[in-house]
A and B are shown apart, each in its own frame.
Chain A
Amino acid sequence: MDPAPRSFPDLPLDEELGTPVPFACGTGELGAPASARELDHRRVTQCALSRICGVCGSGLGRPIAFLGSPEEEARNAFHFPPSHLDCAERLLGVYAEVRGSVLGQREPFDSWVIATTGGFEYVRPRREDVDRRATFEPNSLLEARRVS
């Protein structure tokens, strides 16, 4: 179980953006600098199965929060792994103003969404899927709100 979970203020900083890099973004290649652009697939899987927060890396609580784009909300399939609500809110507090592809997003969009749920399904990509990223489908949605 390494690395140890880090609280929000202790998250490493992205050299390019100067923003905190959540646990799910990891460090890409072993030893590479931390980057908030892409999700680290290993850590996404780890978050899904170990039930840990995609932002700080410690055990999830209730409710479980998902952050993503309005499109992800509409299809009920998020790419960023589950998080603590507080961690998701703090992360978006930083990233709401950042433009371009971050936190695994590939298309630009107007506003972030935070959805809360009791549980989720972890869906692995299928062979014919063009987008080979895993998704998370909230299965007992409590609330979804826009964060601008």
Chain B
Amino acid sequence: MAIADVKEYTHLTDEEVEQIGRELDALRKEIEESRGASDAEYINRLIKIQRGLAFAGRVTLLLSNKKPAWALGASMLGIAKILENMEIGHNVMHGQWDWMNDPEIHSSNWEWDTAQPAEQWKHSHNYIHHQFTNVLGYDNDIGYGVLRMAREQRWSPYYLGQPIYNALLAGLFQWGVSLHDLDLERIRKGKKDPKEMKRQLKQIGRKIRGQIAKDYVVYPALSGPNWKTTMTANATANLMRNLWSYMIIFCGHFPDGAMHFTEEELEDETREEWYLRQILGAANFTGGPLLHILSGNLGFQIEHHIYPDLPSNRYPQIAERVQALCQKYDIPYTTGPLHRQYGQTLRTILKLSLPNHMTKDKNPTQPERSDTANTYEQDLRRKSDAERQPRRTELGGWSRGGKQRMHD
């Protein structure tokens, strides 16, 4: 298989790759079979806490003309939004809690507190990002169509402004994400199905109207004479959520060690190979339980990518086993403290704002390939669903910056 072309895997035999797959399957089965009341209790309790925080925040902001009430209310509301988006909404929409058959906590009908409609998120994130993880030209999360995050992406003078675009993306994250599934590039080129574009725009319009009405009209109005300070507090809560979710998401795939893949096709990729690509393409960060809950357990990004639909409260338990498996087979497992992971991400953003010849490529030499996967001039533009090839065994060229390796 072509993933063997990646240096870290050349030591693995086909039997070992199959054995890794079997062990990860067994782990999945074990978690599936042990899912039960305590997991249900976890998500129900968390939703109760989140709603309590949101309610307390909104009530406190009725007195937002007092500075302590403003600060407390904005903080509680910001944390409530973070919990709702990260640990609840994101994970519910993956179907992590569908097994409970709860009419409310279900991937089919959960609508989250952010500008992007849930349906579009489930396409752009659950399908495009999770299926084509870190494959250039396929995974639209690589730089969100705004940033250059891999050396293989062609440089243009536009990218000199990358530090500014990055700051704007972070601050306006929910609005950027709301347009993510629209695929502005295809619209600009007139390649987007007009019927689908209209349908998506209507969805986005409806959602944005609701979000704006809630945070900038209804709740400020309820504050009466304090409407202006409530509005600024709500904006602050949204900004808190934007910055936090941006940082957590970027730390999932852009620290040193998380690889990018260049693909011509992904057809017939087996489950074992898919597992390996997920492990290689993701990066974890370390921290305490509170940090993990606030980040939607995406500090276990590797485990989330291997098992996106298993309950997030089980990721810490799963991570111990996955890490041991990676050590056993000498597979890279990228992790580190959050500040270091984000520092590396930021360094990549700054570095790649310049042309390749002006910066050092710390990546090891690309493995020689007989096919076209090493040809970086290949078509890396965003693709429609119809253009996204089925999976194939050949995982292509790769890039890494690799310092943080568990096995190093």
Interface residues of A (CB under 8 A from B): 1-4, 27, 30, 41-43, 45-46, 49-52, 58-64, 117-128, 132, 139-140, 142
Contact = CB atoms under 8 A, between A and B. Distances in A.
Interface string B268-282: 101111100000000
A46 B268 CA distance: 15
Contacts of A27: 386
B271 A126 contact: yes
B98 A50 contact: no
10 contacts: A1-B123, A4-B199, A30-B386, A45-B391, A50-B127, A51-B107, A62-B109, A127-B17, A139-B98, A140-B98
B99 A140 contact: yes
A62 B270 contact: no
A126 B18 CA distance: 8
Say whether chain B's binding surface is mostly helix, strand, loop, or mixed.
helix
Interface stretch (B41-49, B190-198, B326-334): B190-198
A76 to B, nearest CB: 12
A133 to B, nearest CB: 11
B99 A119 contact: yes
B270 A50 contact: no
Interface of B: 17-18, 21, 25, 32, 93, 95, 98-103, 106-109, 118-120, 122-124, 126-127, 130-131, 181, 183, 192-193, 195-196, 199-200, 268, 270-274, 308-309, 384-391
A60 to B, nearest CB: 5
Given A3-B196, A50-B123, A139-B32, A62 B272 contact: no
A120 B196 CA distance: 28
Contacts of B119: 58-59
B108 A51 contact: yes
A46 B106 contact: no
A117 B90 CA distance: 21
